[in-house]
Structure formats: C-alpha cells, structure tokens
Structure 1
Amino acid sequence: MKKISLWALSSAFVLNACAQQNPTALKYGALITADDARKHLSILASDAFEGRETGTPGAEKAANYIAAEFKKLGLQAPVNGSYFLNVPLTQNALKTTTFTINGKTAEYGKDYYLSGTYSDNNINVNEFVFVGYGTDAEVSATDLSGKILLWINEDKPEASTTPNTSYRLTKKRTKTIEYLRSKNPAAILAANPGIAAALSRFGKSVTSPRLTIKGAAAKPVNTNAPLFNITIALADDLVKPSGKTYDELKTASAAATTPASSIKSAVTISYTTAKSDVKAVDVLGYMPGTDLKDEVLVISAHYDHIGLNPDATAKDKVNNGADDDGSGTTGILEIARAFAQAKNDGHGPRRSILFLGNVGEEKGLLGSEYYSEHPVFPLANTITDLNIDMIGRVGDEYIGKPDSANYVYAIGSAMLSKELHEIGEQANNTYTKLNLDYKYDDPDDPNRFYYRSDHYNFAKHGVPIIFYFNGVHADYHQPGDEVSKINFPLLAKRAQLVFYTGWELANRDKRPLVDGKASE
C-alpha cells in the first residue's frame, strides 16, 4: 500500500467537508443568470463605451456604470465615501524620430517597437555587436560599452529540452537582459520570429503610448539601454554587410559558444518622450462581513480594454472587448448581486468582500498594481483574490471538443496555497462540475498567463489567488470581440463557480493556509 502524505489527508478532509451542497449558497448562486449577464455586457461592451481604453471617456463611462450598479446593490463606497480609487497615471508618448540601418528607414509598429520609458537620446554608430544568446561565455570578453547589441531573444537550445522561443521574456532571458545592460551598451535589439505576427495582430496594444504610475509609486525613468523588439527581416538588414543572414548567425550560436562579434553597419536611432497626466480610477464596492469582518476576500476583474481601432479604413471602429474583459466585469456584477441578495435576506458573509474593478490592466496591470501598493484594506488581512479575466467565450484549444461549453482554465490556485486549490476544486465538484483545466497553471508557461492579469499584483505580495480564464481566441484584442459572440450560459456558469468558491472562502472558519512562495 502506498503511503498517504499529511497533505493528501488534509486535502481529503477539505473535499469531504464541502461535499454536500449548501442549500443557501445554491439558492443565491442561481441568481447568476445568462439573461442578467447579457443586460450588463450589452451596455459595457457597446459602441457607446468606445472600447473602454484607460484614460478615455469610454473608460470613465464604464467606471460610472459599475459604481452605479454597486450603489444599487447597497455595497459600501469604501474610499472616503467614494466608489473610486484614483490611480494617478502618466502617459509617455514615445516617438522614434529616426531608425535607419545603412540608410534604410525602419517603420515603428511594423519592423520594431520599444517598451518602457527612457530619457531622450540620439544614437549614431557605424557598427554593432552580435551577442548571440547573451551568455557570459559569449560576451564576457567583449567591451559592449556604448555599443548597439543584436541579441537572440529566445532561450538557447539545450540537450533533451525544448527551448522557449516565444518573444515574451522568460525569467532566464530577463536576467540575460540585466546582464547585458550591466555592460552599459547604448541599445539592445532583441530579434524574435514572433515579432512580425505580434505587431500585425496586436500593433495598437504594443505601440500605443505607455502609461505609468506617477508620484511616489512611480518607477524611475529607465537609465539602462532601451530594448527594441525587432523582426527577423530587420535583423537581416542589420547583419547583411557581414555576408550572412540572421538565421545563419543564430544557427552558429545555437550549435556552439561563439564569441560576440562586431559587424560593420551604419545605425541611427533617435527617440523622445512626451508626457501628460491621465485620469483613471479603480472601482471598489465593499460588503462588510460579520464576525470575521476584518478579513477581506477580493473578487476582481479589469473593466478597461484597448479602445478604438486606429485603422481609418476599417468598417468596425471599436474594439468592444466583450470577452476581454467585459465578461469578467459582468461576472463580478452578477456575483455581487448574488451576495447582496443573500445579505439582504440575512445571510451575509462572515468575512468582508471587496468587489474590485481594475483600470489599466491592458496598460500593464496598473490599476491592480496601484491598489496593491495603496490598499484600502490591508493586504495582510486579504485572504484571497479571485480574479476573472475572459470567461465568455470558447478558447482556440477547446473549439470542437466535447467539453467546449463546460470548462475554464484555473491558474495559480496552488502556487501560494494548496488549501485554496482544494477549496476551488471542491466548489466546482459540488456545484458547477466544470472541467477545471490547469494547463497554464505554471509560472514557466511560455504564454506567461500567470503574470498577465491583475491577480499577479496580489500574488506577488503573498496573497493567494485563483485566475479564471477561457483562453485566447481569434478575436482576442480584435474588433471582432463582440457581445454577439459571447456564450452567456457558459459565462454565467463560470461566474457561479467563482461565487461558490467565494461563498466558501467568505464563510469558512479559517482563511486558506499560505504554504507557497510568491513568484517573480
């Protein structure tokens, strides 16, 4: 007989403890319906809200709508009598005035993009350094000070492993960038095969002006070398004077440790940043608990999206963001309504609940970052964040599968608390019986979903989280993300899962035990 660990025994206890349906929870969970969800989402994702881009009138309309709904439900306004937490932001409109390689002009948003906030600069050189994968063996013997570097933005192949070739930075590559920047180069050109497709599909998202938190919470202007993400075509233009292609240089670097080498190529880069203040708010609705009211459960979703379509010739001018994340915002409104009715009927939660509508998620998780740094309720008393980001559609990987209308990705539930994971599992087994898919429940997942929504700003402070997500689809960050494509029964069922999980968390005797470490 196999030994049974103490954790397995405790997990079994949690499972058995919640095995019977709670008729009270069942009664109020049933209030979350497809019809009510449709009413909210048809407003939030309408053309009148112009895609809810942070800092625009459309986002302000959405914030006002959410606050009005919170008020109707009788939720308290916890920010000095207001439902709004001001999130002070600065818009950094980066403009590359010049980017030429051997006299050929590169186009911003087509050939390259630059992330971050940097001081104005002009760079004019006659050679660059190809640093391969940027390992110590490749660059330690080379003076990189003041040089432009061409870097392979992929994990270097290793025996018996499949390298991560996504353009999204892994922890390993982030450390490589830090190492390269310690050599004081003028700029780093990060080449990856996925950049061209990313710019073609998500151009507005990656090239629009950057927003940053201002004031005491602001990050200092980056004085390090800027990191330009470039296409392989642009990399080929850069290395052409060497007589080789970029892929040939990459293949040689992958096969052996090749020292960094200088290549003659005339490169001119000039960039400047214009700054302006932006108005933005998180929307908070608070339900005080009873005997455990000092402890707070957060249920969150971001209400912002990416705004208007910049293509002047496009027939559809609005990125409505019905799924991303109108569905999650609708979810928290429905969940709040269920809890509010329960409270009105004398079945209010033991713990307090904060319904949090975050702004600026699409701009870098800014609203949740600001809240986590300026919490209205102490994070030490925050027991869990249940975060909902896209629950209204069927993701690409489930199209055509038998359970395409009965699944949700659950991300991060066990990373900080095994007990929270079991609570989420049991809530599902008892009430909703969705297929909980943990495919992306991994900090090292190439898609990095764990780091890409608002829950992460709670998790990095040690607050356990569960992130509910349906996966990306063809209309992700596209004008086609419309209300007409939402599966409302599925949205409602996923929201019910969050409600039942929240009901258990808000009413159980003890908060989930934190037994994991926050990932960076």
Structure 2
Amino acid sequence: MNKKILSLGLASILSAGCFAQIKPLVANKDAIRFSKAINPIDGRKHLSILASDEYEGRETGTKGAWMAADYIRNYFKSIGLKGPVNGDYFQKIDLANYSVSESMFTINGQPKQAYKDFVILSNSVGLNGFTFSANDVVFVGYGLTKDGYNDFDGINVEGKVVMMFAAGDPTAKAGDKTDRRQAMMARAKKMSYLAQGKAKAVILIDPTLDNITEARKASYTAGSNVMKTAENIERMKKQNPFTSISISTATANEILKTANTSVDAVQKKIAETMKPASQTLSVAISASAMKKETPVRCENVLGFLEGTDPVLKKEVLVLTGHYDHIGITPDVEGPDKINNGADDDGSGTTGVLLMAKAFSDAKKAGKGPKRSILFMTVVGEEKGLWGSEWYSEHPVFPVENTIADLNTDMIGRVGEEYLGKPDSANYIYSVGSKMLSSDLATLQDRVNATYTKMKLDFKYDDPNDTERIYYRSDHYNFAKLGIPIIFYYDGMLQQDYHRPGDEVSKINFELLAKRAHLTYYIGWELANQAKRPVVDMDGKGNPKK
C-alpha cells in the first residue's frame, strides 16, 4: 500500500474517534458563545431564499444570480461588515457575452431563415465574423474515417465547403449506443480533420433543427459568456474558429436535390451498400455572420471584518463559498426545470453567512478576531472557477498577507458513501489541508478534537483521486498562489447533482450547521493565534525540499 495513502487512512481513523491521540486545544469560551449564531434555524432562513424558485437557479450572468448577490450584500451590510472594494461589497468581474448579431445563408441566391433553416453558433464565429461563398459543395456522408470505411477516400477538402451528417455511424453494430460525450468527441474529431485539411467551412446536417422550439431557439441566440482575463482576451484575438453551419433536413434536401437525391436516399444507399456516397454537388452557397460583444453584470460579493490587533489586522483570513449554480434547463424531463442548487452551493454560501454573523457578533461584543477576515461568496464556479480566478488575479488584499482560505462547497447533505452508515450525520470530507501547510492540517485535527469531534475523511487528498476533487472548487485558485487551504465537501456526486432535485427540502440543516461550526472554529484559531500557518509543503502534500 502506498505510504501516503496509508497515512491518510490513519488520519481519517484518528479523526473518526481516537481523539486521545491528538493534543486538543483549550476550548475558548468566547468562540463557543458566539458560535450560537451558526444554527439550523437561521441556516434554513437563508437557504430557503437563496435556493428558492424565485432565484431561478442562480446562473452566472442572469437575474437569479444578481438577486443572490444583492441578498448577500444586503446581509453583509446589515450585520456590520464593510465593503472592501473602494467602499463597495461587489468586486465586479469583466464578463462579456458574445453572440451572433447577424447571420445569412443562401442556396443558389435564395436566402434561408435563421433558427429555422440554419443555425450559426457564436463559438464558430471569430471576433471579426466571417463571410464566404462557393459554387460547389463536397458531400462526405457521415465524415467517417475507419478501417474499411472512409468517407474522404480520394477527396481533397482544401478550400472546399464540406457537408456531412452531424452524427451517426452506419458501420456501428446493432444495439451499440453512443452517449452524449462520445458523440461530442466524434464530432470534434471530424471538425479537427477538416480544419487540418484546410477546408473552407463545414455544413452539418442536424435533424434536431427540424422543429426548433422557442426554448431551443433562445439557447442558440443566447451566445456564450467569456470572462475577459488577459489570457482569454489574447486567446480570442488569436482564435480563428473553424466555420460551421448547422442546417435542417429540409435545407439539406434542397442542396442534395441538385444531384437528384435526398437525405433519406443517401442514408439508405450507404446503409445497404456499406460504401460511402461522397460526391461533389454543383450548387452555389454563401454565408456570413458577425459577432457582437455585450457586457454582462457579474460580481463576487465581499464582506470585510477588520481585525482588532494593530499589527495582525494586516493579515487576512478568507472564508469562501460560491453562490452561483446552473440555472434553468428547459429540456429536462418533468415539470421542474429549475436547478435550485440548495446543496451546490447554497449550503456553503449559507455557511459563510452564518459564520459572518458569528464573527460580527463577537466583534460587536468586544471579542473580535485579531486578524481580519474576508467573507467572500464568489460567482462563476460552475463555469470554471471564474470568481475565485478573478480574485486571484485582482486581489483586494495582498496575496502575501492572506494567511489561508477555508472553502465550503456542498456541506448540506449526506453523500453516497455515507448513506445508512453510523457516521452519516457526523462526517465531512476535508480536502487539501495537508497540501501546503502541516500547521493547518494539525490545527484542523486539534480543533476538531476540541469542539466538533466529526469524522474527517481525507479520501480526496489521494493524488490518484479519479474525481480530481481538489481541483474542482474555488480554494484551488488560492492554493495556486501558495495560500494554505481547506475545502469542505459532503461527497454528493450522484444524488441530484446538477439536477432540479437539489432542493432545500433535502438539506440536513443540523449537519450543515455542524460542518459550518468546524470551519468557524478553525477560522477562530487562525484569526487569533500568534503565528500564521507555515507553508512547508509543496502543494501536493510533500515536504518542501
């Protein structure tokens, strides 16, 4: 057994119950006194609002996320936290939406109707748009290159407009199923082949466009949001996406009739002969599209509690949770289309609000933390850790003064591995505490042994973790800067994950509060102890050389 994995397992056992082997702290009466603000009743009040249908799943850049941001800001303000961004509570993120503002597609000079006959998506249009025309189209069936079957046999695609079916494989065995991920990978492979072959453009025959609903049309016209970091801006400038146009079956038939055939006819021919039906079609095609940039409201919400020690208050502890979720999925089965995100991550956001109240109460009573604390709920985690990435590149407080980040992302439910087990109401996955600081790892064990006595499960510290949990939440953007972190997570990867079933009614508020208590007590110690946690590990849990 790998020695590192064995040590993690032993630590988990110790945390589960053998607290006598861990030197506990002296329980701080003030910490216990003010921890009462972290309770299931107030937790339910916050989460019932944040994860309500009214907030529409809090998708980044939408009304629901703005409502959540306003709620959090107003709450921070009401309990006396300060706005640290030039007096504001919002750290604005430079987010822009890129959509197709104008698109045109003609067959033999006859214009076709966008979002009925054809669709051009924004990700196939460069910043400067595109325009092209051609007097013939190369039809290549399914665009497959496999052993014994090659739709491109004898065809040079350079400079050509190529037409093919968006999906399908006539050589597949009966009963074989292709999931969405496999289909996307297959399409990407075809597009890469055409791009490398220097084709001018590709026309994809897509039957899903035959009856476009209003909801589907809205998803096509919505475009895509891009966070305008220096890296992304440079990438967009260099990016020259391969031009693709999706067309309906009827539109494809209009093109194919120039060769006296149709979609059904060529599909039947290929299926019966198991040979390609590739051919050049004499038909005039033209197309163009322009890309439009529109600013999108997007912000992290920050509340600041200044420390009481004249020297230590320059150092900052950060407590994070992401308030965004994935919004509404109109095509999901069933009447409920709203992904409420009660656990992911309404629960962690609620934990941050409860902890903010506890520390604020302590300061009002003259027992405030020596170091400063930044309570930060970030946006865009579901899009790729956007909010924390933005903060890491535009820190409000100097990175060198940031002593640690404690991140709560999904702390309200019981994950699959603990369902029905004795520890189901008394565990939490602790992720990353050992990666950068042995001090922080030791402090966690001692705090837990003193106050909460939870089972700490270190499963996801395993470097061979196939889920790569350590890299999948906002703490990671702090860890990349060399800031010690702990990420608390309940392990719910199957039940209702990113589905409308992630509802407030399924939250265990007693457990949510207990997990927030653990985070709070560690925060209390970090904010008040004499020295900040030393960074003596290499970011992977190995001692620095």
Tell me the CA shift for residue 121 of structure 1: 7.2
Secondary structure, aligned partner of 1:462: coil
Q: Indicate which of 225, 236, 239 corresponds to 1:211.
A: 225
2:506 is aligned with 1:500: no
Tell me the CA shift for residue 218 of structure 1: 3.8
Tell me the CA shift for residue 309 of structure 1: 2.8
| Amino acid of the structure 2 residue aligned with 1:282 | N
Tell me the CA shift for residue 184 of structure 1: 6.0
Call closer, same or farther: CA 1:411–1:271 in 2, change over 3 Å.
Answer: farther
Call closer, same or farther: CA 1:16–1:425 in 2, change over 3 Å.
Answer: closer
Is the Cα contact below 8 Å between 1:184 and 1:224 reproduced in 2?
no
In structure 2, the residue matched to 1:473 is 494
Q: Distance in 2 between matches of 1:37 and 1:508?
A: 28
Q: Distance in 1 between matches of 2:124 and 2:448?
A: 40
| Amino acid of the structure 2 residue aligned with 1:77 | G
Tell me the CA shift for residue 353 of structure 1: 0.3
In structure 1, the residue matched to 2:151 is none
2:56 is aligned with 1:56: no
Q: Indicate which of 398, 412, 416 corresponds to 2:418.
A: 398
In structure 2, the residue matched to 1:259 is none
Within 5 A, what are the aligned runs for 1:19-30?
19-30=25-36
Call closer, same or farther: CA 1:501–1:444 in 2, change over 3 Å.
Answer: same
TM-superposition CA deviations, 1:247-291 (whole Å, max 9, x none) = xxxxxxxxxxxxxxxxx999xx99986542211111100011124
TM-superposition CA deviations, 1:202-253 (whole Å, max 9, x none) = x9xx998542222656442163777x9xxxxxxxxxxxx999x9xxxxxxxx
| Amino acid of the structure 1 residue aligned with 2:370 | R
Provide TM-score, normalisation by structure 2: 0.66
Tell me the CA shift for residue 315 of structure 1: 1.5
2:534 is aligned with 1:513: yes
Q: Distance in 2 between matches of 1:407 and 1:24?
A: 25
Call closer, same or farther: CA 1:482–1:218 in 2, change over 3 Å.
Answer: same
In structure 1, the residue matched to 2:37 is 31
Q: Distance in 2 between matches of 1:418 and 1:114?
A: 47
Tell me the CA shift for residue 94 of structure 1: 8.1
Secondary structure, aligned partner of 1:440: helix
Call closer, same or farther: CA 1:478–1:292 in 2, change over 3 Å.
Answer: same
Q: Distance in 1 between matches of 2:123 and 2:41?
A: 41
Q: Distance in 1 between matches of 2:100 and 2:533?
A: 44
Within 5 A, what are the aligned runs for 1:124-273?
209-214=223-228, 216=230, 218-220=232-234, 221=236, 223=239
| Amino acid of the structure 2 residue aligned with 1:294 | K
Q: Indicate which of 302, 311, 316 corresponds to 2:322.
A: 302
- Sequence identity (%): 51
Tell me the CA shift for residue 74 of structure 1: 0.8
| Amino acid of the structure 2 residue aligned with 1:49 | Y
Q: Indicate which of 91, 97, 100 corresponds to 1:91.
A: 97
Call closer, same or farther: CA 1:54–1:508 in 2, change over 3 Å.
Answer: same
Secondary structure, aligned partner of 1:330: helix
Call closer, same or farther: CA 1:272–1:296 in 2, change over 3 Å.
Answer: same
Range 310-319 or range 350-359, more displaced: 310-319
Q: Indicate which of 278, 281, 297 corresponds to 1:279.
A: 297
Is the Cα contact below 8 Å between 1:185 and 1:225 reproduced in 2?
no
Is the Cα contact below 8 Å between 2:82 and 2:305 reproduced in 1?
yes
TM-superposition CA deviations, 1:57-87 (whole Å, max 9, x none) = 2111111111111111111111111111111
Provide TM-score, normalisation by structure 1: 0.69
Secondary structure, aligned partner of 1:415: helix
Is the Cα contact below 8 Å between 2:320 and 2:376 reproduced in 1?
yes
Is the Cα contact below 8 Å between 1:297 and 1:385 reproduced in 2?
yes
Within 5 A, what are the aligned runs for 1:423-434?
423-434=443-454
Tell me the CA shift for residue 317 of structure 1: 3.2
Q: Distance in 2 between matches of 1:79 and 1:43?
A: 26
Q: Distance in 2 between matches of 1:384 and 1:70?
A: 21
TM-superposition CA deviations, 1:73-130 (whole Å, max 9, x none) = 11111111111111110124589x99xxxxxxxxxxxxxx998996667999888797
Superposition RMSD in Å = 4.7
Q: Distance in 1 between matches of 2:423 and 2:158?
A: 55
Tell me the CA shift for residue 517 of structure 1: 3.3
Call closer, same or farther: CA 1:313–1:398 in 2, change over 3 Å.
Answer: closer
Tell me the CA shift for residue 358 of structure 1: 0.4
In structure 1, the residue matched to 2:436 is 416
Call closer, same or farther: CA 1:322–1:186 in 2, change over 3 Å.
Answer: farther
Q: Indicate which of 66, 75, 86 corresponds to 1:69.
A: 75
Is the Cα contact below 8 Å between 1:287 and 1:354 reproduced in 2?
yes
Tell me the CA shift for residue 379 of structure 1: 1.0
Range 364-373 or range 397-406, more displaced: 397-406
Secondary structure, aligned partner of 1:499: helix
| Amino acid of the structure 1 residue aligned with 2:461 | D
Tell me the CA shift for residue 312 of structure 1: 8.1
Call closer, same or farther: CA 1:215–1:500 in 2, change over 3 Å.
Answer: closer
| Amino acid of the structure 2 residue aligned with 1:45 | A
Q: Distance in 2 between matches of 1:500 and 1:399?
A: 26
Q: Distance in 1 between matches of 2:26 and 2:538?
A: 32
Secondary structure, aligned partner of 2:367: coil
TM-superposition CA deviations, 1:335-391 (whole Å, max 9, x none) = 111111111111111111000010111111111111111111011111111111111
Q: Which runs of 5+ in 2 are unaligned?
A: 1-6, 15-20, 105-120, 148-156, 163-179, 183-188, 200-215, 245-269, 281-286, 541-545
Q: If you compute each CA radius of gyration, which structure gives the higher value, 1 or 2? A: 2
In structure 1, the residue matched to 2:506 is 485
In structure 2, the residue matched to 1:462 is 482
| Amino acid of the structure 2 residue aligned with 1:495 | A
Q: Which runs of 5+ in 1 are unaligned?
A: 1-6, 99-112, 133-143, 149-165, 169-176, 188-202, 229-240, 246-263
Q: Distance in 2 between matches of 1:265 and 1:34?
A: 68
In structure 2, the residue matched to 1:108 is none
| Amino acid of the structure 1 residue aligned with 2:513 | A
| Amino acid of the structure 2 residue aligned with 1:213 | M
Is the Cα contact below 8 Å between 1:443 and 1:450 reproduced in 2?
no
Is the Cα contact below 8 Å between 1:309 and 1:316 reproduced in 2?
no
Q: Distance in 1 between matches of 2:367 and 2:181?
A: 49
